[in-house]
Amino acid sequence: MIEMEIDMHRNWWGMFFGVGFDADGDGYIAPGLSTEPDDGGIYLNIAGQNLANNKIVLPNEEEISFSADNSGWCRYKIVLDFTANDGAGAVALFYDPGITGEWISIPEIQGVNMGLTPGSGDKMDRTVWDGIFFHASGGTAGFDNILIREPENNGQSQFIEFTAISNKLTTDPPFELEATATSGLPVEFEVVEGPATLDGNTVTLTGEAGFVTITANQPGDDVWAPAPEVSQTFEVVDPTAYAPELTVRRPADETKVYMSELNPVIIVASAYIEHPEVLGITGVSADIDGEIVTLTEKNWNTGYFNTQWIPPAFGTYTMTVTATSTGDMATTETVTFEVTDNVTDLSVQTFDMVHISTSTSTTVTDDFVFPTYVGSFDQLMLYLDVTCPAGGCDPWDRVGNMEARGPNGEWVELLRYITPYGVPCDHTIDVTDYASILQGLVELRFSIGTDAQGFVVDVMIDLHAGMPEYKYNWVDVIWRGTFPFGDYANMQPMDTIIWNYDNCTEASKLKIINTGHGWGDLNTGNAAEFYEATHHIKVNDDSFEQHLWVDCNPNPDGCQPQNGTWYFDRAGWCPGSISYVYDYDLTPYVNTPDVEIVYEFYPDYMDLCHPNNPNCVTGVTCADCQAGFNPHFIISGNLISYSDELSIPVGETEQQPYYGLQLLPNPAIDRVELSSNRENAAISATVQVFDISGHLLKQMSWDGNPVMMDVSELKNGMYIFVIRSERGTETKKLLIRK
């Protein structure tokens, strides 16, 4: 048995520590790199941004994630038992946040089979492990006090797997604990502290609030050594101690509701409560001068509740909204508003000379008051003024955007902005298509990815009085994220959308913002920023072209001259301008069921220097196959629906890949079923199986019908299934665990 301890200071980019095999003898151990395919061992990977991405990586590259509050300095102990599981070994993980001297077990990693193969002479054979290795990206990580020892071992080692205990309410009934020892011996429990009692493995809460800590022990016997103690802590919550946080959003207090004739309007409120894991909002209602209406969250799960209401007459109204929580705790808020047909041009000042920088904040969020309206404004124009703070503007082109939270609580990107090279500029964009969002008390946020002195932003929105073509619209986000371009393992990363319009929809358009990023000699064709590609938006049997290229000289927003290389054309954007918005008319499809929307990247491009390209060899085909900053697109796709009737959609966007591939079971042992979740799926596709390094292992034809595949020859680890046909490409991951 070996114990390894290390102090690590987590940083933003992540870090790892482990022990393993330097297969090629080049002086360093680099598991996972395509240039070091035979290096490896076992290591602890501490995530910098999302604690749920912390993980132990086994020699077969299987990842076991865990979440732990390990910010700042933290001590870790990795226990390796090479005699367990008939030589396959076992690993257990403990940590000491703040280095207080008290070990806390990681319940997900107690006695996990390492899958070693003694005598194989490779990284799966611990007898050839010849070094420790550690790595951090960025300047704020730290390592200290590395200790490796062979502890005294009186008997065979055993470990406890103690199922995590979720938070409870003071009113919850007794519940049973679940824990097992790898020895098979019975586990004993003890309440260390907190408002709970224990009878065997049954926990009874005392009815008081507080934190409960329970330990699991197995003292061992003549054969087995005592297991390391494992503890679980959970909180007992009093439901009467917390009341909802309520905000009436539409109509906002002391505002006007504009309409030329009496029409339905959306009533919107947001309601949240602490401890959402055990507490919830049980009801939201509004009393509008004696008329009671119920607001629902539908399927959004965003904390936004709404309903529609028809004012009986023009005039002033008082509305009291009440939100009730699990413990029958109620919060109320009252607003007044006037329903009027006297419509005039309006201006709404939002962000007012706000400094965005690392010394202030790179993202600013605030609530702003807009009127509520139906068919009253035919154009909304947004004016963005960007100036320099004291000391000058950020000298580089930074990606920024402005978002608004719609009536369903979903954040929608209104515009994407790429800052100029160190100079001030002003910009204008038509945001009429987002009229359904810019009403009432609206949450807005503006972000710029600066790491310097930043910029000062000012945003004004003008509403022009007039009758629009349709009284209502609705915005659905169908794509949003960063997607790789030319990645060998994921050539077509965009989800296929299967869309069904509401019955009252009369017209529709798809608005796409796509900006290409990543460049340099290590990206084939200087992609994606400086690569001129033509993508296609396929809707059922039709295809729309998207030529992703913008002429930057002259600057689209007139922001010139600038410093730097502002004059070079780019993929979907230019420094110092609001990014180009591609509009596609989908009105011909509004009465068609199951509309299929496919975003197909230019299929003939591949980044030959990408780490997922198995043919990339550092120093031969590419200077550095692991350099990172690979070609990628930042994409948002907003589907706008128009109607003269108000309809509030029930739920969120339905997204599914074209093939709907399912792999069951997953993890698998020696057989896996390929099936499709699409009804009447009839395709002609090729299924390829790659290992994590990109080597092709298996290939077969597939018609979409369920079929069993033999994977018995695959070792433990992660594998990538790639389905290809003329309709595109889809990938799925399969874990083999034997």
The whole-number pLDDT of residue 328 equals 92
Q: How far is CA 440 from CA 74, 162, 255, 444, in A?
A: 46, 49, 8, 12
pLDDT of residue 719: 77
Q: How confident is the model at residue 313 (pLDDT cuts 50, 70, 90)?
A: very high
Higher pLDDT pick, 649 / 23: 23
pTM of the model: 0.77
What pLDDT is stored for residue 297 in this prediction? 86
DSSP reduced 3-state for 597: strand
**Cβ-count burial of 474 within 10 angstroms (0-12 exposed, 13-18 middle, 19+ buried)?**
buried
Confidence of residue 652 (pLDDT cuts 50, 70, 90): very low
- CA 605 – CA 533 distance, rounded (Å): 8
Q: Which residues pair with 507 in a beta bridge?
A: 642
Kindly report which listed range (191-205, 214-228, 514-528, 647-661) carries the lowest average pLDDT score: 647-661
Determine the 3-state secondary structure of 524 from DSSP. Answer: helix
Look at residue 679 in the predicted model and tell me its pLDDT: 47
Q: In 3D, which of 681, 544, 550 has the Cα closest to residue 599?
A: 544
Domain 348-465 in CATH 2.60.120.230:
yes
* Cis geometry, peptide bond prior to residue 251 (ω within 30 degrees of 0): yes
Measured CA to CA, the distance from residue 559 to residue 381 in angstroms comes to: 19
- pLDDT confidence of residue 110: 87
Q: Beta 168-169 vs 230-237: how paired, if at all?
A: parallel
Q: What is the distance between the alpha carbons of residues 738 and 736, in angstroms, rounded to a whole number? A: 7
Residue 693: the pLDDT is 53
Residue 711: name the closest of 685, 691, 684 by CA: 691
CA atoms of 652 and 476, how far apart (whole Å): 8
- Give the domain 241-340 fold: Immunoglobulin-like (2.60.40)
pLDDT at 404: 97
C-alpha 10, offset from chain centre:
21
What average pLDDT does this structure show over 354-360?
A: 92
Token pair belonging to 596: 């299929």
Q: What is the 3-state secondary structure (H, E, C) of 410-441?
A: CEEEEEEEECCCCCCEEEEEECHHHCCCCCCE
The C-alpha atoms of residue 462 and residue 228 are separated, in whole angstroms, by 66
- Give the C-alpha separation, 189 to 199, whole Å: 9
- Phi/psi zone of residue 282: left (φ > 0), alpha (ψ -120 to 50 degrees), beta? alpha
d(CA 574, CA 417): 9
Question: What is residue 678's predicted lDDT score, i.e. its pLDDT?
Answer: 56
Question: Is the pLDDT at 725 greater than 50, yes or no?
Answer: yes
Decide: 61 and 717 in contact? Cβ < 8 Å: yes
At residue 654, does pLDDT exceed 60?
no
**Tokens standing for 353?**
């000379």
SS (H, E, C) 240-298: HHCCCEEEEEECCCCEEEEECCCCCEEEEEEEECCCCCCCCEEEEEEEECCEEEEEECC
Q: At a CB cut-off of 8 Å and minimum separation 6, what does 536 contact? A: 543, 544, 545, 546, 598, 600
Highest mean pLDDT among 15-29, 66-80, 533-547, 694-708: 533-547
Q: CA–CA separation, 734 vs 724, rounded Å?
A: 17
**pLDDT confidence tier of residue 676, bands split at 50, 70 and 90:** confident
Distance CA 18, CA 6 (A): 10
DSSP label of 668 = B
pLDDT digits (tens, 9 = 90+) for 243-268: 999 999 999 999 999 999 999 999 99
Predicted pLDDT at 50: 64
Is the model more confident about 52 or about 583?
583
What are the tens digits of pLDDT across the range 147-184?
A: 999 887 778 888 888 888 889 999 999 999 999 998 89
Q: What is d(CA 242, CA 192) in angstroms, rounded to the nearest whole number?
A: 27
Q: Tokens 């413990």 correspond to what residue?
A: 327
Whether the ω angle into residue 554 lies within 30 degrees of 0, i.e. cis, is yes
Which one of 2.60.40, 3.40.50, 1.20.1530, 2.60.120 gives the CATH number of domain 2-149? 2.60.120
Retrieve residue 704's tokens. Answer: 């979409």
Q: What's the rounded Cα separation, in Å, for the pair 454 and 354?
A: 11
In the block, residue with structure tokens 């930074």: 398
The answer to whether the beta carbons of residues 218 and 181 sit under 8 Å apart is yes
Long-range pairs for 61-66: beta carbons < 8 A, 24 or more residues apart: 61/31, 61/32, 61/692, 61/717, 61/718, 62/115, 62/716, 62/717, 62/718, 62/735, 62/737, 63/718, 64/108, 64/109, 64/112, 65/108, 66/93, 66/106, 66/107, 66/108, 66/109
Q: Which single residue is written with the structure tokens 């690590």?
A: 8
* Mean pLDDT value across residues 637-660: 73
**Number of alpha carbons in the 13 Å side-chain half-sphere of residue 640:** 24
Q: Strand pairing partners for 307?
A: 267
Please state which architecture CATH assigns to domain 472-643.
Answer: Sandwich (2.60)
45-49, 286-290, 310-314, 645-649 — which is least confidently predicted? 45-49
Amino acid at 487: D
- Write down the mean pLDDT value for the chain: 89
Amino acid sitting at position 476: D
Give the pLDDT score at 14: 77
Question: What is the DSSP code string of 310-368?
Answer: --SSSEEEEEEEEEEETTS-EEEEEEEEEEES----EEEE-S-SEEESTTS-SEEEEEE
Mean pLDDT of 332-342: 98
- Domain 160-237 matching CATH 3.90.550.10: the answer reads no
- The predicted pLDDT at position 684 comes to 67
pLDDT at 653: 40
Assign 3-state DSSP to the chain and report helix, strand, coil percentages, each to 5: 5, 50, 50
Give, in order, the Cα–Cα distances in Å from 710 to each of 10, 71, 663, 694. Answer: 42, 43, 12, 20
In the numeric block, which tokens belong to residue 589?
């499809």
CA–CA distance, 649 with 431 (Å, rounded to integer): 21
Q: What would the two tokens of residue 166 be? A: 């979720």
Architecture of domain 661-736: Sandwich (2.60)
- What is the structure's pLDDT at 695? 65
Residue 304 has pLDDT above 90, yes or no: yes
The per-residue pLDDT for range 73-124, each reduced to its tens digit, is 899 999 999 988 889 999 999 998 888 877 888 888 888 999 999 999 999 9
pLDDT of residue 65: 85
Give the N- to C-terminal CA distance of the chain in Å, as an integer.
Answer: 23
pLDDT digits (tens, 9 = 90+) for 473-527: 999 999 998 899 998 888 899 989 999 999 999 999 999 999 999 999 889 999 9
Q: Which pLDDT score, from 0 to 100, does residue 93 have? A: 92
pLDDT band of 656, cuts 50, 70, 90: very low
Nearest to 369 by CA among 382, 350, 343, 386: 350
Give tens-digit pLDDT for 532-573: 999 999 999 899 999 999 999 999 999 999 999 999 999 999
Report domain extents, the chain. 2-149, 160-237, 241-340, 348-465, 472-643, 661-736
The answer to whether the 241-340 and 472-643 domains have the same CATH topology is no
